[in-house]
Chains A and B, each alone.
Chain A
Amino acid sequence: MAEKVMVAMSGGVDSSVAAWLLMEQGFQLCGATLKLFSNEDIGLKQPSRTCCSLADVADARSVAYKLGFEHFVFNFGLNFHQEVIRRFAQAYAEGETPNPCIDCNRYIKFNKLLERALLLNKDYIATGHYANREFDRKTGRCLLKKAKDPAKDQTYVLYTMTQEQLKRTLFPLGSLTKNQVRRLAEDQGLVNAQKPDSQDICFVQDGDYSAFLEKVLHIPSSPGPITDRAGNLLGSHKGIIHYTVGQRKGLQLNTDRPQYVLAKDALANTLVVGDESELYSEEMTVKDINLISLEQLTKPMEATVKLRHSQQEAPAILYPLPGNRISVRFSAAQRAVTPGQAAVFYDGDTVIGGGRIT
């Protein structure tokens, strides 16, 4: 009997093609679209097109009907609010720069959705992420490996996956390029071959996260001092949530040399700035570690480290620390290491694991 897969469908090109590929491979499919928030939750008065809009649900459903399988709509609004939006707000309030897409994968897709799929007696869930999965006979572990298309590789946002989740998840797009996926969508007449990729954070309109924090979540953000590392007052900021580490523009400082945001001190409501050279770090500590290719890091290990989604990896050595942390020493100092962002460790194409920068 064919194995049963629940494919997460956003109504976009990638997940639609993922579904079609699984059909071709002989799986018995059903689709699921997640409702994560309503327009009201994200500060929109009028119905409009967002990631979770009814129009996207309709797109996903029409693909499911066209391919001939059942389609569910799951309401994870409460979970999304608690696990993703609340963490997002909390991180900003603490002066960190969060990555809510990673939290959504961790707490919603590979937790709640997988749970729902197993309740409905499915064998797997599948997503349109560009990534690969491989079983390592030597260690008996399920590995997460980079996608064939390096420009689309999404392993960075998948580093939190546990062994149990990886065993139950299929990534049908891992060996394809985005162009191949678009061509397949066109050839198969899937409604949305030219639909643009989703960008930025789905619940934040026009990328204006500070407006979202202030107007929708009502996170207070008050002006405060800008100082240098020594604590000398250089100016004032309009609330630390408006700034990111490494930022130069918009500081309105009267200094000889351009100044960059080095740190956001939430407790003192202070923005610390300095020269560009001061932005570089030779090491960092990463917390909340999840390891994939290894069960435990017991001795120092060479790796390459990715500090943000769109960035090249940097060579480094990983040192185990107590309390589920890892110390990372870079071969060459790295610019704007940002607390709250994910650091993901690679051994070639294989994800070793990752965590959050402190």
Chain B
Amino acid sequence: MTKIIYADNAATTQLSPQAFEAMTPFLTAAYGNPSAPYSLGRAAKKALEGAREKAAAAIGAKPEEIYFTSGGTESDNWAINAVARLKKSEGRHIISTAVEHPAVLQPLKHLEGQGYEVTYLPVDRQGHICLAELRAAIRPDTILITVMTANNETGTILPVAAIGSLARQAGLIFHTDAVQAAGHIPIDVTEMQVDLLSLSGHKFRGPKGTGVLYIKKGLPLPPHIRGGGQELGRRSGTENVAGALGLAAALAAAADNLPANTKKITAMRDRLIEGVLKIPAARLTGDPVNRLPGIASFIFEDVEGEPLILMLDQKGICAASGSACSSDSIGPSHVLLAMGLPYELAYGALRLSLSEDNSEEDIDTILATLPQIIERLRSITAKD
């Protein structure tokens, strides 16, 4: 078995040792229900609230603004649906972008079917929206702006703080899907001027099935799951204590190590980009500078993404392409299409996403392997 080079850290990450350690007691001996009054329950409650404080501190929030969820998708769905319900008497117009994750786009699409109107701001070649266009899109009946912090396919970082300031001037609720960004760039809800922010544990070395919705204090967001009244009555269900602890520990560790990791990962990423761009007819997608430290995303003319991923896999390299074929979506990447790439090219995406666990040797191996695979795939395309 060849050694695996894991270069798909934007899909998911390996659990951090800190997270694993924080979780273990609550998966074994400390199994109490946090709502129970005896000591086993009280211990779980105490740990859970500790996790809430830790997660809050990592993003500049107050503990009572942190709501634990099952992940980024739940957080996004909650935020969007709840604002729509909360504000429906004031208006039915929402502003978003063409490059959001399906966890945002699908709830918006569903709302469109219920009489809401959504403006999807276009993006330029690098995946940036135009702030003037955003300002112009605001109408008297606008109730929500939802724009991602950084794009999951290209890593392009969007100007969330500027959008937040614009939203605040206009008196609008602002939600950001920070799932891909949290743990990888500094996140501060005050600086970003957000009212709602989604994040997901497994994207920053926490466990899968865990997430957070930050809800700014004072925003009377309606409950999302009704039941026993956990999470201040807004998201009922016995808490995933171990999961919350894992998420908080991973997020805190990511925040602590951010400067060192950013330096290391960015250097590897830039060497990777430089090397990959030596392949003929290869292009970088997204903003070359203002992008997440770990994400390098490319397209290769006359190469399909799917066989490329399979052949990298044969060489022990885990990477991603735009399309996810086990779900019902089979089209090319909506993100790359929105960035103006032609249909055929948008099928040929490669996303390599690094973590601090990658090494310079990994980069060497990828750079030695990738050109051969591209050449082989092109020789077949040429034959067709």
- The segment from B254-262, B265-273, B328-336 found at the interface with A is B328-336
Name the interface size band of chain B. Answer: 20 to 34
Query: Is A239's beta carbon under 8 Å from chain B?
Result: no
Residues of B within 8 A of A116 (CB): 307, 310
Give the nearest-CB partner of B373 in chain A: A119
Shortest CB distance B349–A (Å): 12
Given contacts A39-B328, A54-B328, A78-B344, contact A119 B306 (CB under 8 A): no
Q: Is the CB of A119 within 8 A of B380?
A: yes
Query: Is A73's beta carbon under 8 Å from chain B?
Result: yes
Query: Is A327's beta carbon under 8 Å from chain B?
Result: no
Bound complex: CA A106 to CA B320 (Å) = 29
Q: Is the CB of A75 within 8 A of B380?
A: no
Residues of A within 8 A of B330 (CB): 35-38, 41, 75, 77
Query: Is A57's beta carbon under 8 Å from chain B?
Result: yes
Q: Is the CB of A119 within 8 A of B323?
A: no
Q: Is the CB of B325 within 8 A of A115?
A: no
Given contacts A111-B384, A120-B310, A120-B314, contact A38 B325 (CB under 8 A): no
Bound complex: CA A121 to CA B310 (Å) = 11
Query: Is B347's beta carbon under 8 Å from chain A?
Result: yes
Residues of B within 8 A of A54 (CB): 327-328
Q: Is the CB of B329 within 8 A of A38?
A: yes
Interface of A is mostly: mixed
Query: Is A47's beta carbon under 8 Å from chain B?
Result: yes
Indicate which residue in A41, A75, A121 contacts B325 across the interface (CB closer than 8 Å): A75
Name the interface size band of chain A. Answer: 20 to 34
Q: Is the CB of A38 within 8 A of B328?
A: yes
Interface string of A35-74 (1 = CB under 8 A from B): 1111101000001000000100100000000000000111
Bound complex: CA A121 to CA B307 (Å) = 12
Query: Is B370's beta carbon under 8 Å from chain A?
Result: no
Query: Is B15's beta carbon under 8 Å from chain A?
Result: no
Q: Is the CB of A75 within 8 A of B323?
A: yes
Indicate which residue in A38, A57, A72 contacts B331 across the interface (CB closer than 8 Å): A38
Q: Is the CB of A119 within 8 A of B307?
A: yes
Residue among B331, B377, B380 with most chain A CB within 10 A: B331
Given contacts A75-B323, A78-B347, contact A119 B310 (CB under 8 A): yes
Shortest CB distance B170–A (Å): 34
Query: Is B279's beta carbon under 8 Å from chain A?
Result: no
Q: Is the CB of A75 within 8 A of B328?
A: no
Residues of B within 8 A of A74 (CB): 306, 325
Q: Is the CB of B331 within 8 A of A119?
A: no
Residues of A within 8 A of B347 (CB): 78
Which B residues have a C-beta under 8 Å from some C-beta of A?
A: 306-307, 310-311, 314, 323, 325-332, 343-344, 347, 376-377, 380, 384
What 3 A-B pairs are tightest by C-beta distance, nearest first?
A75-B325, A77-B330, A35-B330
Which A residues have a C-beta under 8 Å from some C-beta of B?
A: 35-39, 41, 47, 54, 57, 72-75, 77-78, 111, 115-116, 119-121
Q: A75-B330, A77-B330, A78-B332 are in contact. List 5 more A-B contacts (CB 8 A).
A: A38-B329, A38-B331, A75-B323, A75-B325, A111-B384
